[in-house]
Amino acid sequence: MKNVLLASTSTLHGESYLSYLLPVMKELFAGVTEVIFIPYARPGGISHDAYTEKAAGVFAAAGFTLRGLHTFTQPADAIRNGQAFFTGGGNTFLLVKQLHDLGLMDVLRTEVEKGKPYMGTSAGSNIGGVNMQTTNDMPIVYPPSFQTMGLIPFNLNPHYLDPIPDLPHMGETRETRIREFQVQQDLPVLGLREGSWIRIKDKRITLEGALSARIFEKDKEAYELEVGKEIVL
């Protein structure tokens, strides 16, 4: 009984914040009046207030009130009483640390598993995975744990990037990094390209959006999953 949207990115190149997600947001949040915004990932170090204001403008235009979780004195109660949730992108370490420090990770998972709509973009999608260990973000803070909500039985790599041909740069490719992770943990990873998202309706998980996803399973060659397909991992 889940109703979840995990998007690779909030913003497509040359478009405005969340604009490509508006149609699916309206479907996801149908019947909801107020959505609770989790601003902890703070992209570029933006304040919780400024981040909430940015997102609230888009939500208002779509017909939903958005309220920042940081404005509640009892955030766990706010989640328990909330109708629906949106976690914005930014730094996954910061987001996960804050959720664990405040004891909110399990509370949020419990409410989402009851069927309350949840939307994540980028870092907010990472926390839908089993753990945050395939994030691209810098470890700017030290979270007490890397465990996340596990709404899906695999990990995501948002902003998935294919190797750039002819780039003389010697830093590891995204695929190399994901393979290094799988030496440590036998967990499938879905490389989610910008413009695509994962939709969970009850037990059915599908890939939606503009681009196919790249699937990495330990000791198997990586392969493409087409848009519209069910994800069975």
- Say which DSSP state 163 is in: P
Total residues binding a copy of itself (CB under 8 A): 46
**Which residue in 159, 162, 166, 169 is the catalytic one?**
159
Establish whether 13 is a catalytic residue. Answer: no
What are the DSSP calls for 73-95, one per residue?
Answer: SSHHHHHHH-S-EEE--S-HHHH
Both structure tokens of 206: 């599908």
Closest CA to 82 of 52, 112, 127: 112
88-127 mask for a copy of itself (x: CB under 8 A)? --xx-xx---------------------------------
Closest CA to 190 of 210, 163, 211, 217: 217
- Residue 219 touches a copy of itself, criterion: CB under 8 A: no
Closest separation in Å from C-beta 82 to a copy of itself: 27
Closest separation in Å from C-beta 127 to a copy of itself: 13
Closest separation in Å from C-beta 119 to a copy of itself: 17
- The helix/strand count (H/E) of the chain reads as 7, 11
Q: Which residues bind a copy of itself (CB under 8 A)?
A: 9, 11-14, 42-45, 90-91, 93-94, 132-142, 145-146, 159, 161, 164, 167-172, 176-185, 194
